[in-house]
Amino acid sequence: MSQWIESIDPQLAEQLEVLRTVTRRDPQMAAAGRERFLASASRLAHNDSPSKLSRMAWIEGVSGWFAQREPAKLRLALIGLLVIVMLAFAGLIPVAQASGASLPGDSLYWFKLLIEDARLELVGTPAERIEMSMENADRRIREAEAMAGSGRVIPDILTDRLAYNLNAAFQMASTLPDDEMIPLLERLRLRLESQEQRLMRIGSALADPDPVLERAREILRIRLAWTAAGQQAPQQFREQNRLPEGWNQPPTEGAAGWGPVNPTPGVTWMAPTGLHPSRTPATMATPSPLRQQASPTGTQGAGAQPTAYHTLAATPSPALNRTAMPTGTAGNPGSTPQQNPTAGGTQSGPGPQATQQPPGGGQHP
Amino acid sequence: MDESQLLARARQNDPEALGEIYDAYSPRLYAYACRMLGDAQTSEECVGDTFYRFLHSLRSGMGPNTHLKAYLYRTAHNWVTDYYRRQPAGISALSEELAAEQTAPETLASQAIEQERVRAALLSLTPDQRQVILLKFYEGWENEMIADALHKPLGAVKSLQHRALAALRRRLHSEVEILYEPMD
């Protein structure tokens, strides 16, 4: 150490030396200080709980951090950033409230979707995620009702998001064990039927068929088939709902990035099944094997062929099972000739296997 | 006794271990504080608060497991820094020292002025620079230990030391030049 002192400027070292000698410590004050220290230790040991002290230390640490001088610039920058973030959050609250009532095409709709996605990320259990996804899908239906009621054109984003919400629910459902998944699929089926009926009512109130609404209904119908098939063949349902790459990219309003990989928004999930909900209204008019076997009356729907699910909306689920599953349940007490016109049709109907084939058995270009 | 064992006993509120720690470090901490504060009573207050904070840290499950000396000096250093931040500029504690010493008044006055000048020069440094000089020059610490006390890498300590000496040289030499500047 003396080497170090010798190495510095001698004049400076001499000047610094004047502080080497300090006032002698008063022995009485030193003894009193020691006594106070030990008394404090004894008091702390008897009075304060460790948790209370931990809290105090935390508060002291935070306040000490803010009180420190160095490095002042960094600290000021962090404090400034904290203030900005707090103000931003405070400002976002009314925006979030206002966005809740927004509809597709509104300026705040993207924010509403953002909040939905964020909330979905925050829920933990599969059951909660499924419920929230289905609530979001319900919201899409309500949006469609509101837009149709006010005479507004329903944009594609609504169907894209509907498909996204439903797919999120289905994917989570596919992760559950059989004993949980099968009853869940039944509940989903009932809910989808309700949604599909609501869309049907909207469509019937319109003067002209709305292609976006029709696509939304097709999306629901396909998933209705999945729920029915999944109850019979859970493993196949899981494979069917295995996520394709990039599954977690939600469609956003005005997104321009669908491109060649996913040229039609909202259909990413349907590719594995072979059921193509993105068909145009013209192609949708061509009955699929599923419709051919289960909707003989053709009296329902507005501009679209009635499907098995229209009839099944008020029908117990065993009828759907008969319709959609290849195994055939013709002897099921819930069956009616109208829903199941031919036993052979049911036997060869598009159950889970059929969903792997293109609708119409490749009749569409 | 090994420092970590001593600290382990202190965590269990062993009065003997706590007393041993106080006896070992309080005189040096007092000198360290007094060098910067220039006042015995304030220095005692600094020592008392430093040990009280140490007690709190131990009780809350924090505090040092090793390098107790570095921890205590860092706490005392922060206390001194806070103290000067709270004080209005120009406060000096020399009067008490002048009265206490048994030296001739003129010698004391001259010595006190010089001490105050050096202290002011040290206070003009950044807290880290000041601590490096205090620990290195007056306490005789090695750079590695200073690095532990400041929670900084060794290279940063050397850099702080270099800058602190340059700043002190500028400050003290320029004052000398002004003091001895011939009058017109």
The residue ranking higher by pLDDT, B38 or B50, is: B50
Average pLDDT, integer, range B118-131? 88
Nearest C-alpha of chain A: how many angstroms from B165? 8
Asked if A38 and B60 come within 8 Å (Cβ–Cβ), the reply is: no
pLDDT (0 to 100) of residue A56: 60
DSSP state, residue A362: G
**Partners of residue A26 in chain B, C-beta under 8 Å:** 40, 44
The token duo for A58 is 């935390």
Q: From chain B, pick out residues whose CB is under 8 angstroms from the CB of A30.
A: 26-27, 30, 44
- Per-residue model confidence (pLDDT) at position A305: 38
Mutate to test the interface with A, among B11, B12, B46, B56 (most CBs of A within 10 A): B56
pLDDT for B19 equals: 92
Choose, out of A1, A2, A22, A52, the residue to mutate when testing the contact with B (most B CBs < 10 Å): A22
pLDDT of residue A185: 92
Name chain B contacts of A54, Cβ cutoff 8 Å. Answer: 60-62
DSSP state letters, A334-361: T--TTTS--HHHHHTS-STTGGGSPGGG
Report the percentage of chain A scoring pLDDT > 90: 13
For A123, the token pair is: 């829920």
- Residue B82 has its nearest CB partner, among A18, A22, A67, at A67
CA–CA separation, B122 and B79 (whole Å): 16
Euclidean distance between CA atoms A242 and A223, whole angstroms: 14
List of chain A residues with pLDDT < 50: 245-247, 254-365
Distance from CA of A70 to the nearest CA of B (A): 8
Instruction: List pLDDT tens digits, range B72-115.
Output: 998 999 898 888 877 665 444 444 444 445 556 666 677 778 88
Residue A107 token pair: 């300026």
Residue in chain B nearest A6 by alpha carbon: B137
Nearest CB to B59; choose among A16, A38, A44: A44
Instruction: Provide, as residue numbers in chain B, all residues whose Cβ is less than 8 Å from the Cβ of A31.
Output: none
Those residues whose C-beta lies under 8 Å from the C-beta of residue B118, and which sit 6 or more positions away, are A15, A16, A18, A19, B172
Which of A1, A11, A15, A52 to mutate to test binding with chain B, by most B CBs within 10 Å of its CB? A15
Average pLDDT over residues B16-25: 92
Give me the sign of the Cα torsion angle A34, A35, A40, A41: positive
Mean pLDDT along residues B144-163: 88
- The confidence score (pLDDT) of residue A355 equals 37
φ/ψ of A204, rounded to 5, equals: -70, -20
Q: How many angstroms separate the CA atoms of A145 and B6, rounded?
A: 75
Q: Which of A33, A41, A53 sits opposite B26 (nearest CB)?
A: A33
| Minimal CA separation from B69 to chain A, in Å | 17
Are B18 and A38 a contacting pair at CB < 8 A?
yes
What type of residue is A10? Answer: P
> Exposed, middle or buried by CB within 10 Å (0-12, 13-18, 19+), for A273?
buried
How big is the CA angle at B28 (ends B23 and B33), to the nearest 5 degrees?
125
Q: What percent of chain B is modeled with pLDDT above 90?
A: 20
The tokens of B8 are what? 């382990």
Contacts of A288 by beta carbon, 8 Å cutoff, 6+ apart: A275, A350, A359, A360
Average pLDDT over residues B25-33: 92
B132 versus B172: the higher-pLDDT residue is B132
Q: Do A69 and B85 touch (CB under 8 A)?
A: yes
Looking at residue A148, its pLDDT comes to 87
